[in-house]
Structures are given as structure tokens and as C-alpha cells.
Amino acid sequence: MTSDTKRPEDCNDMREVRAGVDATDRALMEMLDRRYGYMRAAARIKQDRGAVRDEARKAEVIANARTDAEARGLPADQLAEIWDRLVESSIAYEALEWDRIREAG
């Protein structure tokens, strides 16, 4: 957390909670930016556009998220749904990047 945000267990009012949520959202966006950077790298590396969609890998990523959520006591079903949407969005983004890279080159 940043110096102006408290850990959840240290919050005493909703202003502190909201500051923590906002800081966490910004950190999540930074991580998503990095994740999509890996999708750009994958689009650059994969030679076959058909390799962009890998159902076995998708299932593995979602299962990993579910297992991690369960271990943390978080709502695993709902987070698996979020991960499914994240992976589908990542696949779509990677496909667009794959096309863009090859059209530009």
C-alpha cells in the first residue's frame, strides 16, 4: 500500500476504506497493463495465429485462479468467472495484436 493508505485491518472509517480500494484498483490496472504486455509478446512470438487460442492453457489459468482464491478464502466461483472473462479478453487482444504486427510488417 502507499503511504496514504492503510491496510484493511487498520481502517477505521469509510474514507480510509475507499482510499485503499482506489489504491488497490490502480495497482490492479498496473498489473493488467503488464499482463496485456505479455499478450503482446505472445502475439509477436507465436508464428501461427491458430496458436493464439489455447483451450488447455485457458483451463489451466482459470483452475489456478480458482485454487488460489479457495486457498485465500475468497469467492472462488465468482473469481473463476472473472478470470474466464480476463482470459477471453486477453485472447481477443492477442489476436488483434497478432494481426496488427503482421499487417505492419
In a domain, 2, yes or no: no
Which residue is associated with the grid cell 468467472?
81
Grid coordinates representing 8 are 484493511
pLDDT tens digit sequence for 52-101 = 999 999 999 999 999 999 999 999 999 999 999 999 999 999 999 999 99
Could you give the CA distance from residue 22 to residue 27 in angstroms, rounded to a whole number?
9
Q: Is residue 75 part of a domain?
A: yes
Checking if the pLDDT of 7 tops 90, the result is yes
pLDDT at residue 1 greater than cutoff 90: no
Cell of 19: 482510499
Asked whether residue 17 is domain-assigned, the answer is: yes
Rounded distance between C-alpha atoms, residue 54 and residue 11, angstroms: 42
CB half-sphere exposure, 101, CA atoms < 13 A: 17
C-alpha cell at 89: 479478453
Range of the domain at 62: 9-104
Query: What is the domain count for the chain?
Result: 1
pLDDT at 3: 67
Q: Across the chain, what does the average pLDDT equal?
A: 96
Quick check: is 57 in a domain? Answer: yes
Q: CATH number of the domain that 21 lies in?
A: 1.20.59.10
| Distance separating alpha carbons of residues 33 and 13, to the nearest angstrom | 31
Instruction: Identify the pLDDT of residue 73.
Output: 98
User: 37 vs 1, 31, 44, 49, CA distance in Å?
Assistant: 23, 10, 11, 17
Predicted confidence at residue 4, as pLDDT, reads: 79
Q: What is the per-residue pLDDT across 13-49, written as a single tens digit (0 to 9) for each?
A: 999 999 999 999 999 999 999 999 999 999 999 999 9
